[in-house]
Structure 1
Amino acid sequence: MSLFKIQCWFFILLAGATIASHTWITQFEQSGTELLTNHWQYKVFGNNRVDLTSTGFTLFSNNATAITSIYQNIPEVTPGTILLLSAKVKCNDVVAGEKPWNQARLLLLQVDEKKERWDLSTVVVALTGTHDWKNYQGIFTVSPETRSIRIIAQLSQATGSFQVNDIKLYPVRETRMFTMTRNITLSAWGVFFLLLTGSCLFNRKHSIFLRLLLVCTFISIIVGTTFPGDTKNQVSDEVKTHLHTQSEPLKATILWNLSKIWHFCSFLLLGLIIALMMTQESLGRVIFIIFSLAAGTELAQLYIEGRTPLVADFFIDAAGGIIGIILINIFYIRHNSDKPFY
């Protein structure tokens, strides 16, 4: 069996196993007692109100300039604890305000000694319009600086009604089966990525510069994929802040989404390099390398904390790689002959 066929079967089996295992294997199990009590506090303005029931509460708002909220503080949480917040949620005729966060929202907010940590992941669900009852849950890791947490349900400068029932908060831990499966799955994807890299690296004799550039590009893609969600967001925010500080015109004219830019540029560079190094290979094999790497890095994120595979990111990656291949073909045709690489 050829190396190309081995790669194809390896990818198909690994992708299927990754999706199946993540779907069927339970990730968390409860490791402590319920943390919420019946002692809720709330803030209302004007005719807005909060109705408490035996199973939950309902927020009503007809004032789009006010925030209607109900909250509960949980003191003395242990850093590093993994918390699961779940609830049944329903909303009716919720009209959003001007800001992206002006919706019906259920939040877990971490608070350190000085301030509320809105920079950390907070949202369990954010809704507008009308939605029937549905279960939602969010997983949160208590940061080292956190001293307390606050559970909040709010209509943040939005109108309508927001119902929350069976709200629960308790510590959890990963199941042994999930931990073992994650380690095996990520190791298998690592082997697959090495196989892809090797098939490009040793395809033919090429300059050391091209080989080093290929390795560096692969490494940058894999490192970017394996960043935990909080780390990725922190790095992105710091870079964005620096760029905005250094260039006010760019801040005003460009909607920066550094994650998407990184996705596209890294695969664009990869497409350029592979097109240069694999001129004797079929176009199908070159495209397979781009597509399988794009899909694999997204699927691997199922097992990386705080990351979510996105179809949009796959298409951005694939588009970057394909454009890189096209650019090399255009350059080759213009400077060498009328015959493209592939």
Structure 2
Amino acid sequence: MPLFKTNCLLFILLVIATLVSYHRFDQYQQTGPELLTGHWKFQIAENSRIDVTDEGLTLFSSDAKTGASAHQDLPMVKPGTVLLVSADVKCANVRAGKHPWNTARLLLAQNDGKKDRWDLPHATITLTGNHDWKNYRKAFTIASDTEKIWLLAQLSQTTGSLQIKNIHVYPVYENPEYLWARDIILLAWGAYFLLFAGSFLFMNKKNFLIRLLLIAILISIIAGITLPGDMKMQVSNEVKIQLDAESELFKTAIPWDLSKVWHFCFFFLFGLILLTMLEKELTLQGIAMVLLLAGSTEIAQLYIEGRTPLVSDFFIDVAGGIAGMILSRIFISKQNGTPAKSSIAQQ
């Protein structure tokens, strides 16, 4: 397979460089004191509840018409100040509502003295479904006309539970060394993906259109990982809301996180088409290419805003790719009139 050894070597070098630089440089440096006061104000209804502990708070709601919310007014800071919101978050059984904002949310809101500025970036998290404990953080720049800021945790006209702990809000600046390292690493990964995609153009088997289709799927996968976390969540939530509105059966037919389904499906297509382009004796190299793509798309997310590489996503990607390869091998074997006999496993 063209450039196979080169792809493997570059992958190893880039993984090492990415991990070293990520742990060497902190993205944000704190420049001021913690702004949280600990004085939460609540808005709850009969079918909702908020529990406050020393570590954080938990919101419960069983009424989608009301939900539950808690907020803290924060001390005003100078316009242009960058505030970092950081928290460990877990949610369970949060159902997406009719609108994109009917989710479990943690927000940093601003008001200019006349109205709340929801047109400014404000969401640290917007979650639906079930998510285990994970640290989220997001930086926000205070607008020039802002007169009031506050932190808001809410189940916005939805049901389920939202747990938040280790909450922090403080002024920061972005470390220039981190920015320098991020730009170089992302540029290097971009060059790697170009080489990875280009290697399929030099494959002799199958026609040029098949190769272009494989590259198109590869580009779709790479485009998906470059989406910032908040944009990815917004797109995923809006699609899920639309699908739920079309059919109640969708909620039970596909109970998983929609992004996981996309992971599996795109890698399934990648593996399906890839194997049609490989000679039988190169099947192991095909599996290795799936592993390289799954690993590289996860590791590169260390430097994508709001994204986190997950071992579970890696295995979902690999499972999708190998499932596609198995199906492709079965189809090819039937076309050739030979038994499939798990030829991938025999390689």
Q: Is the 8 A contact 1:71 1:153 kept in 2?
A: no
Aligned equivalent of 2:123, options 109, 113, 120:
120
Q: Give the counterpart letter for 1:176 in structure 2.
A: P
Q: Give the counterpart letter for 2:211 in structure 1.
A: R
Following TM superposition, where does structure 1 have runs of at least 4 consecutive aligned residues deviating by more than 4 angstroms?
41-45, 48-51, 57-61, 63-70, 74-79, 96-100, 105-108, 114-119, 339-342
TM-score of the superposed pair, with normalisation by structure 2: 0.70
CA pair 142-250 structure 1, distance change in 2 beyond 3 A: farther
CA pair 9-207 structure 1, distance change in 2 beyond 3 A: same
Q: Give the counterpart letter for 2:124 in structure 1.
A: S
Q: How far apart are residue 238 of structure 1 and its match?
A: 1.6
Q: Is the 8 A contact 2:107 2:152 kept in 1?
A: yes
Q: Is the 8 A contact 2:124 2:136 kept in 1?
A: no
Supply the distance in 1 between the matched residues of 2:273 and 2:57 (Cα, whole angstroms): 57
Residue of structure 2 in register with 1:138 after alignment: 137
Matches within 5 A, 1:1-342: 3-30=3-30, 33-34=32-33, 36=35, 40=39, 42=41, 71-74=72-75, 82-85=82-85, 108-110=107-109, 113=115, 120-122=123-125, 138-142=137-141, 148-151=148-151, 169-251=169-251, 253-255=253-255, 257-279=257-279, 282-338=282-338
CA pair 64-110 structure 1, distance change in 2 beyond 3 A: closer
CA pair 107-269 structure 1, distance change in 2 beyond 3 A: closer
- Which is higher, the Rg of structure 1 or of structure 2? 1
Q: Is the 8 A contact 2:106 2:124 kept in 1?
A: no
Q: Give the counterpart letter for 1:15 in structure 2.
A: V
Supply the distance in 1 between the matched residues of 2:142 and 2:221 (Cα, whole angstroms): 27
Aligned to 1:121, the other structure's residue is in SS state: strand
Q: Give the counterpart letter for 2:270 in structure 1.
A: L
Measured against aligned partners, the alpha-carbon deviations of 1:31-76 in whole angstroms (never above 9, x if no partner) come to 5x4472769454599xx9989xxxxx68899x99998967224558
Residue of structure 2 in register with 1:92 after alignment: none
Q: Which runs of 5+ in 2 are unaligned?
A: 45-49, 96-103, 127-134
Q: Is the 8 A contact 1:42 1:50 kept in 2?
A: no
CA pair 137-119 structure 1, distance change in 2 beyond 3 A: closer
Question: Which is further off, 278-287 or 302-311?
Answer: 278-287
CA pair 318-64 structure 1, distance change in 2 beyond 3 A: closer
Q: Which runs of 5+ in 1 are unaligned?
A: 52-56, 90-95, 124-135
Q: How far apart are residue 84 of structure 1 and its match?
A: 2.0
Q: How far apart are residue 315 of structure 1 and its match?
A: 0.5
Aligned to 1:282, the other structure's residue is in SS state: helix
Measured against aligned partners, the alpha-carbon deviations of 1:115-168 in whole angstroms (never above 9, x if no partner) come to 989992249xxxxxxxxxxxx883333598x965423689xx99xxx997xx76
Identity of aligned residues (%): 39
Supply the distance in 2 between the matched residues of 1:251 and 1:119 (Cα, whole angstroms): 28
Q: How far apart are residue 23 of structure 1 and its match?
A: 1.1
Supply the distance in 1 between the matched residues of 2:256 and 2:241 (Cα, whole angstroms): 10
Q: How far apart are residue 287 of structure 1 and its match?
A: 1.0
Q: How far apart are residue 265 of structure 1 and its match?
A: 0.6
Aligned to 1:140, the other structure's residue is in SS state: strand
Between Structure 1 and Structure 2, how many residues are aligned?
307
Supply the distance in 2 between the matched residues of 1:220 and 1:139 (Cα, whole angstroms): 26
Q: How far apart are residue 249 of structure 1 and its match?
A: 2.9
Q: Give the counterpart letter for 2:150 in structure 1.
A: R
Q: Give the counterpart letter for 2:13 in structure 1.
A: L
